[in-house]
Structure 1
């Protein structure tokens, strides 16, 4: 299956998403902050990134935009996770380069479907 980096400042969310992805036979690397995200992506070479939007410091929208504007990372699909279900957030995520979007709380099936679509 795929190698996925999961970025979320909530340890509980990291553990939940990791359990969903491991149950689907993905390799998972967790990252609690966007501070050294580029370094971790270079080291891990993931197939996809699952990233929370609301985080301290650089938020998920900003990190997504930064990654998509960097030739080293622009081809890596990103699925954003947010607690806001507004269409404007989904649209804004797409404008930043996100390949998918799920609204918390989500079921494993919803996340796995978003990942499947993003990896196509």
Structure 2
């Protein structure tokens, strides 16, 4: 059905999100940091990126902004997925270029609805 890059430093969250994607027939690649994600993106471009905000090193906001500024990755939909659930967090995520924002704990129905918009 497509491919996704899941970027989250929590192995539990990576597993949950990967499982949701795989149930939809989406091939998944994972990364635990923004730096690892950028390295993987230099090798292959997924159909969608699911990005946590709180990451070691650079934040998901920074990674999102960088990806949206690069010609090679600017058209890839980015879904921010975080425990940060305030309206300001969601607003700031959209300002960084995110195409969607999902809060944790992730509701599978909401996740499926959002990801199907992009794949």
TM-score normalised over the length of structure 2: 0.95
Give unpaired runs (5+ residues) of structure 2: none
> How far 1:17 moved relative to its partner?
0.6
> How far 1:99 moved relative to its partner?
0.2
CA distance in 1, matches of 2:39, 2:61: 18
Matches within 5 A, 1:25-40: 25-40=25-40
Asked whether the equivalents of residues 64 and 97 of structure 2 are also in contact (C-alpha less than 8 Å), the reply is yes
* Mapped pair 1:77 → 2:77: yes
> How far 1:36 moved relative to its partner?
2.9
* Mapped pair 1:45 → 2:45: yes
CA distance in 2, matches of 1:36, 1:10: 14
Asked whether the equivalents of residues 6 and 49 of structure 2 are also in contact (C-alpha less than 8 Å), the reply is yes
Q: Which moved more, 1:36-45 or 1:101-110?
A: 36-45
CA distance in 2, matches of 1:18, 1:31: 11
After superposition, give the CA deviation of every residue in 1:54-105 in whole Å (9 maximum; x if it has no partner). Answer: 1111111000000001111101000001102111111100000000000000
Give unpaired runs (5+ residues) of structure 1: none
Matches within 5 A, 1:88-103: 88-103=88-103
**SS, match of residue 37 in structure 1:** helix
**SS, match of residue 44 in structure 1:** coil
Structure 1 residue runs of 4 or more that deviate by more than 6 Å after TM superposition:
none
Report the counterpart of residue 62 of structure 2 in structure 1.
Answer: 62
After superposition, give the CA deviation of every residue in 1:41-65 in whole Å (9 maximum; x if it has no partner). Answer: 1312200000001111111100000
> How far 1:39 moved relative to its partner?
2.2
